[in-house]
Amino acid sequence: MSGDPTSFALARIVLREISLALVEPFRISSGVTSQRRILLVEVIDGGGLSGWGECVAGEEPTYSPETIDTAWLAIRRWIAPRILGMAWDHPRQVWPLLQPGFRGHRMAKAAVEMACWDLAARRAGRPLAELLGGERKEVATGISIGIQSSVGELVERAQAAVDAGYRKVKMKIEPGNDFEFLRAVRAALGSEAALMADANSAYTLDDSDHLAAFDQFDLLMIEQPLGRQDLLRHAQLQRRLATPLCLDESITSVQRAADMIELDAGRVVNIKPGRVGGFTPSLEIHRLCRAASVPVWCGGMLESGVGRGHNVSLASLPGFTLPGDLSPSSRYWRRDIVEQEWTMDAEGLVAVRWDRAGCGGDIDPRRLAETTVRTETLRCNTG
């Protein structure tokens, strides 16, 4: 079966919800998370070989309209029927199956599409990074630090991150918890440290003067200061700032990335494959950003070791020139659900798993069993 180049079809899709406690609560401007509910997708071919995907939809519709519960429904009701039993020979053929007459639900679509890429890599006995066109042996890692209750606590965490080797420090900000926090962290880390802020849409254009004052902190970028749908005002704000804007929530498709570039609404893209609907659109965004000399980096959504494997594989592509939100397993979990936890070395590098087939995040069956709270198996109903 392994290495079979001919077309094949999925026989089953197994959905699982796992419950995983974060090592510490993660607070951003739109809400706090301490217990993750994660939807894992296992796609299984006729020979019994599995590929794995992780849905990045949150517990609540704060970051995106999707949640784990809407994703579960979308996969059961609309995605699985389009995919099960359909023959394909390359995973790039999966994304087009999920588009006609089927709006939104990108995170749900991505979880299945990315599982199909993992399955294709495993069938071919090749690393997912190779299938995606990756090159790097390791990827540079940044930390994303949630909003803290005091400046002192934030400075302590930021300093510890730099000491641990992280190549970039991203701090979450919101009105009232921004200027003094930025000033203190910049002073503590020194002028050379790669520092950035992520607002998760907490500001409006009325805050332009306030945000322009952040230029003095020489940030690498400010991520998503304004509304999720709002390229126009990001472009207006970018004209007022020396600091590059990076868009996250706003980039939901290849076209949105093209529009960002055209409008100069941002100068950096945070690519989260789950947010844009999978690897196929991610590769296209990577391609067009590279052609326009727009740097990209791989964002994170507090993933388990499965989603991390997908992100690390993607970040091995050449256009990912900035450190990603790809922290090691221990930053998030007391114990990850993969056999070999993701680790970071003292230089802030995470190794891409070129030594094995698939995404590099092989499930630990025992950990899976003890964290699973819900399971559903979907089969081809014409079969």
Applying CB under 6 A, which residues contact ligand OSB?
28, 63, 144, 198, 200, 248, 299-302, 325, 327
The site partner of 327 among Mg ion, ligand OSB, none (C-beta below 5 to 8 Å per kind) is ligand OSB
Nearer to ligand OSB, 28 or 112 (CB): 28
Nearest-approach distance from CB 348 to Mg ion, in angstroms: 19
The pairing of beta strand 142-145 with beta strand 168-172: parallel
248 touching Mg ion, by CB under 5 A:
yes
Q: Which of 189, 251, 238, 236 is CA-nearest to residue 63?
A: 251
Q: Helices (DSSP H) in the chain: which residue ranges?
A: 68-74, 80-83, 94-97, 106-124, 128-132, 151-164, 179-189, 208-212, 231-240, 254-263, 273-276, 279-291, 305-315, 329-332, 365-371
- Determine contact, residues 75/108, Cβ cutoff 8 Å: yes
CB of 90 to Mg ion, least distance (A): 31
Least Å from the CB of residue 36 to ligand OSB: 10
Active site residue 272: yes
Residue 115 contacts which entry, Mg ion, ligand OSB, none (Cβ below 5-8 A, type-dependent): none
With CB under 5 A as the rule, give the number of residues binding Mg ion. Answer: 3
Of 123 and 331, which CB lies nearer to ligand OSB in the complex structure? 331
Query: How buried is residue 237: exposed, middle or buried, by Cβ count under 10 Å (0-12/13-18/19+)?
Result: buried
Q: Shortest distance, CB of residue 179 to Mg ion, whole angstroms?
A: 19
Considering beta carbons, is residue 16 or 275 the nearer one to Mg ion?
275
Q: Is the dihedral of CA 45, 362, 22, 321 positive or negative?
A: negative
Residue 301: name its binding partner from ligand OSB, Mg ion, none (Cβ under 5 to 8 Å by kind).
ligand OSB
Which span (85-93, 245-253, 260-268, 280-288) binds Mg ion, by CB under 5 A?
Answer: 245-253
Q: Is 198 in the site for Mg ion (CB under 5 A)?
A: yes
120 vs 194 by CB, closer to ligand OSB: 194
Q: How far is the CB of 379 from ligand OSB (least distance, A)?
A: 33
Please report how close the Cβ of residue 136 comes to ligand OSB at its closest, in angstroms. 19
- Of 134 and 300, the one with the shorter C-beta distance to ligand OSB is 300
Active-site option among 109, 168, 170, 272? 272
For residue 352, the tally of other CB atoms under 10 A from its CB is 23
Q: What is the secondary structure of 173-225 as a DSSP string?
A: -BTTBSHHHHHHHHHHH-TTS-EEEE-TT---GGGHHHHHGGGGG--S-EE--
Q: Decide the pairing of beta strands 138-140 and 349-351.
A: antiparallel
Q: Which stretch binds Mg ion (CB under 5 A): 70-78, 134-142, 168-176, 247-255?
A: 247-255
> In the chain, what is the straight-line distance between the N-terminal and C-terminal CA atoms, in Å?
21
Taking each continuous run of H as one helix and of E as one strand, the counts in the chain are: 15, 13
For ligand OSB, the closer of residues 195 and 301 by Cβ is 301
> Which among 220, 281, 226 has a CA at the least distance from the CA of 254?
281
Q: Which residues bind Mg ion (CB under 5 A)?
A: 198, 223, 248
Residues identified as active-site:
172, 272
